[in-house]
Structure 1
């Protein structure tokens, strides 16, 4: 029993070291410069170990995207706390998650490089990474929609797609409609626009006869995240 526990702990530590090495390589070279040899060298492990644990670079990147650093993994208990108490709470849940997620992408270079996977063509590793991102975004949207009768997937695709594109533009020192995406002032304007969009959508949902909001049945404390 003790031996099995020691093996488990050693594997967890090695996995963490490999993930940290992956982040460093991505930050240094971008997603297109990542390879098993480079990550193994950075982590000071055999590349055989990476294949054994993850099946290769694509498996490692998929693991990284889905481990909860880029997109939060919300268990049922947390979701119950997040679930809105009042109809007007839904907008706050939506815009907070969007703003927090993309603040993280903007401040963490490895995460920004991962975000760029969706625009890299003819690259199996980028395709796997982009697919894993889409699966995580889809999961998060489904968990946090708290709405029935509205096309939350399409709405989220427009908003999250725009935020992803703007984040990539910011990394490349670009502007959008004259807004400086490298400045805090510019992003404050973007975040205020996101808030306004979701508040308006929330009002439309409340007024619609076809849309139902999934509210808390008990007065549970709303988690602050």
Structure 2
């Protein structure tokens, strides 16, 4: 192993330790409790390394949000497989991604705390984290829309914004319209509603002459994700 390769591997291992320490601190103390000193101590590294690798706490959180653990990153080849084969497949692509993404947020405490950045005011770390999340959601919506001629960004803002709010409400043991967001039954109702919304949107897109659907050109099997 040459020197450059050894340096790369050491950096990768150190980065992984820092990321794991970040997750632990966020789970224990919330986003408001993170700090370079605390992360460095948990990861057993010098805080100088965190500044060198990430530029500080904001850079570390941005890296974490964009590394693919919260929002999936699709390669061009995988996107080709995901692309709908039939007109009615688009709804399934949309609702599955929303449901899977927010199930992850509900079951992973560090991810839920990151999600709360969008409602924390007057905090530079929360602001930069929320911005990174928004960029990732924008990328995801753009990759998976498979539609032109419709305002998929505005529609997604409503759905994803609602799911974000409901997920935060669930963490705070709240209800919404008397639906118990702490229960699986409550979330099953929410997920069924998401399916109904996207199925209706899919039908509307098919019927709208101004909207064009981007379907597969060949019978490539749709990927399971």
- Give yes or no for TM over 0.5: yes
Q: Which residue of 2 aligns with 1:20?
A: 20
Tell me how far apart the structure 2 counterparts of residues 45 and 221 of structure 1 sit (CA, whole Å): 46
User: Where in structure 2 are the equivalents of 1:13-162 lying within 5 Å?
Assistant: 13-162=13-162
Q: Which residue of 1 aligns with 2:184?
A: 184
Tell me the TM-score normalised to structure 2 length: 0.99
Unpaired runs of 5+ residues, structure 1, are: none
Tell me how far apart the structure 2 counterparts of residues 203 and 172 of structure 1 sit (CA, whole Å): 36
SS of the aligned residue for 1:138 comes to: helix
1:2 positional shift: 1.2
Tell me how far apart the structure 1 counterparts of residues 134 and 23 of structure 2 sit (CA, whole Å): 20
Tell me how far apart the structure 2 counterparts of residues 181 and 120 of structure 1 sit (CA, whole Å): 21
Tell me how far apart the structure 2 counterparts of residues 6 and 195 of structure 1 sit (CA, whole Å): 49
SS of the aligned residue for 2:189 comes to: helix
Q: Report how many aligned residue pairs link the two structures.
A: 225
| Deviant stretches of 4+, over 3 Å | none
1:132 positional shift: 0.1
1:120 positional shift: 0.4
Tell me the TM-score normalised to structure 1 length: 0.99
Alignment deviations for residues 189-213 of structure 1 (CA, whole Å, 9 cap, x no partner): 0000000000000000000000000
1:221 positional shift: 1.3
Q: Which residue of 1 aligns with 2:210?
A: 210
SS of the aligned residue for 1:141 comes to: helix
1:175 is the counterpart of 2:175: yes
Tell me how far apart the structure 1 counterparts of residues 108 and 209 of structure 2 sit (CA, whole Å): 42
Structural RMSD (CA): 0.6
Q: Which residue of 1 aligns with 2:201?
A: 201
